[in-house]
Structure 1
Amino acid sequence: MDGVEIAARGLSVRGARGPVFENVDVQVPPGGLLVVHGTARSGRTSLLLALSGRMRLNAGTVRIGPYTVPSQARKAAALVTVARAEPAVALEERLRVGELMSERCWTSRAVTRQGIRDAASAVGLELDERLLVEELTALDQTRLALALALAGRPAALVIDDVDAGCTDEQRRQAWQAVALAHEQGCTVLAGALQEPPPQGEPVELVSLPQLSAHRLPPAVTTDAHRLPPVVTAEPRKAIAE
């Protein structure tokens, strides 16, 4: 599969309680890897959904391949598969693995059960179709989400909560699974509570504060002085060996 470039300028999203994030600039080359990390309610998941063309913007634009959001949002979003971004996209814990596989094949004609098995093997998951999702470890739930998404050979893939619920060792292996997914050639946008472990080559990161206002120096009061962070992700960088 071939990755797709994702570029954003001046992204801002506001909710009922104020800004979720403001003035974010991001550029991810085709086949690149971007990691967004931050605490709960930092805007991490919202930013990932915005970069996938699935979040209503208050300001700014996103370009996914040749398509621009918001004017071509549907075509842009079609290039990106969201593996997990809770609560919008999540694995149903009371379904069996085999049921999720059937559901994925039903919702996408490009996906086959063998394709899912191959993708699971690529990210280090031994599939047991009889298990309930809730019986899987946090690590294997991440691997399963990646496999179900990769089976459709997307141009870009979003996976949030990479390290949620993981022990230190599981966290390391979860990032290995992300790296293995990335090696398949698609552009990967990943989200986590913490930075990836310092193994292998460094990855460019977007670090979100708990509140977007934390980006601004205390003395700054005018929009003219709000300088957006610019983050560029290098293509095909490994996170872990």
Structure 2
Amino acid sequence: MTEDQTPAPIETDDVVAERAPEPAPGGSHQVGRALTARGLTLRSIRGTVFGPVDVDLPPGVPGAVLGTQGSGRSALLLALVGRLQGVGGELTLGDMDGIRHPHRLRRATTVARITDYVELEPLLTIRECIDEHCLAEGISRRTGRKRFARLEAAVGFHPDHGDQVSSLPVEDRTILTCMLACLRPADVIVYDDIDSSLTRPQLEHVYRVLETLGRLGHRFVVSALTSAPVPRGAVVVELPTPGHDDLPAALPTRPSLED
């Protein structure tokens, strides 16, 4: 991948006009804007990373990017939320041009997980993870903890906040990661390799959690292997298996949580 295709920093400022309104406590409504891509493509000196890809995500509708290992799923998720440079084609969120104004797109979206790039710190406690996310997103700890408590009540997930992330079963770590990504209102939240290390019943449980979070206004776009189930009602984008002359390049640098 060339230098101008490196992931852009994940922005941390919190008060911006482009972000979706926060759902009322315990409320249930669709918020956000349509996410549309036409001919979205990323190429490197090694070949095509992904694309051309067309996406039509109506407001509030979840998405799923499916493909084999090396098909460009992680890169596509980063591109959809404005965190990958060098992307061609058209990308809009509502009336916002995400190609011309990637900073605005980043402010309106959130990354929950990108494999090997954006992950929870395993040695932190859950309480420390909540506080760290609040700091990164410019949210007061008081506000962030209240929002997390509301999410716990809605999802029915009540972990011990003193437990380390590394002590949690993978299903609980997945749910925790999703909930932390919901502390800041956003039009789109991306979660890479959501099926990783999960059994089918565990993945289906995670999808039920995402459905609950979706009713609160938190819309996820996930990636998974082609053989994995997808969230109910999701718009599916399936990436082709790369050929020998069309190898995707690995992301060269870790996206930053700071400006």
TM-score (norm 1): 0.80
1:156 offset after TM fit, Å? 1.8
Distance 1:188 1:198 in 2: 11
Instruction: Give the aligned partner of residue 237 of structure 1.
Output: none
Structure 1 residue corresponding to 2:235, chosen from 179, 183, 204? 204
**1:232 corresponds to:** none
| Residue among 55, 63, 71 paired with 2:100 | 71
Aligned AA (1:7): T
Task: Please report the RMSD computed on the Cα atoms of aligned residues, expressed in angstroms.
Answer: 2.3
The correspondence of residues 1-241 of structure 1 with structure 2, limited to 5 A, is 1=23, 2-110=31-139, 111-194=143-226, 197=229, 202-211=233-242
In 2, Cα distance between the equivalents of 1:26 and 1:109?
A: 31
Q: Deviations over 1:7-28 (max 9, x none)?
A: 1111111234211112101111
Q: What residue identity is the alignment partner of 1:178?
A: L
Quick one: distance in 2 between partners of 1:17 and 1:124? 46
Cα distance in 2, alignment partners of residues 57 and 183 from structure 1: 34
Question: Aligned partners of 2:82, 2:244: CA distance in 1, in Å?
Answer: 24
Q: How much has 1:46 moved relative to structure 2?
A: 0.8
Distance 1:100 1:209, change over 3 A: same
The higher-RCO structure (CA 8 Å, 6+ apart) is 2
Change (3 A) 1:144 1:32: same
- Specify whether residues 106 and 24 from structure 1 end up closer, same or farther in structure 2 by C-alpha distance, changes over 3 A only: same
Cα distance in 2 between the residues matched to 1:27 and 1:156: 13
Q: Which sections of structure 1, spanning at least 5 residues, go unmatched?
A: 216-241
Superposed displacement of residue 77, structure 1: 1.2
Paired residues of 2:62 and 2:233 also in contact (CA < 8 A)? no
Return the alpha-carbon distance in structure 2 between the equivalents of residues 108 and 132 of structure 1: 21
> Once the two structures are aligned, what percentage of the paired residues are identical?
31
1:163-190 C-alpha deviation (Å, 9 max, x unpaired): 1111222122122122222221233211
Q: CA deviation at 1:213?
A: 8.3
2:26 matched residue in structure 1:
none
Letter in 2 for 1:211: P
Count of matched residue positions in the alignment of Structure 1 and Structure 2: 214
TM-score (norm 2): 0.75
1:121-176, Cα deviation, whole Å (9 max, x unpaired): 33342221121112112211111111111121222211222111112221221221
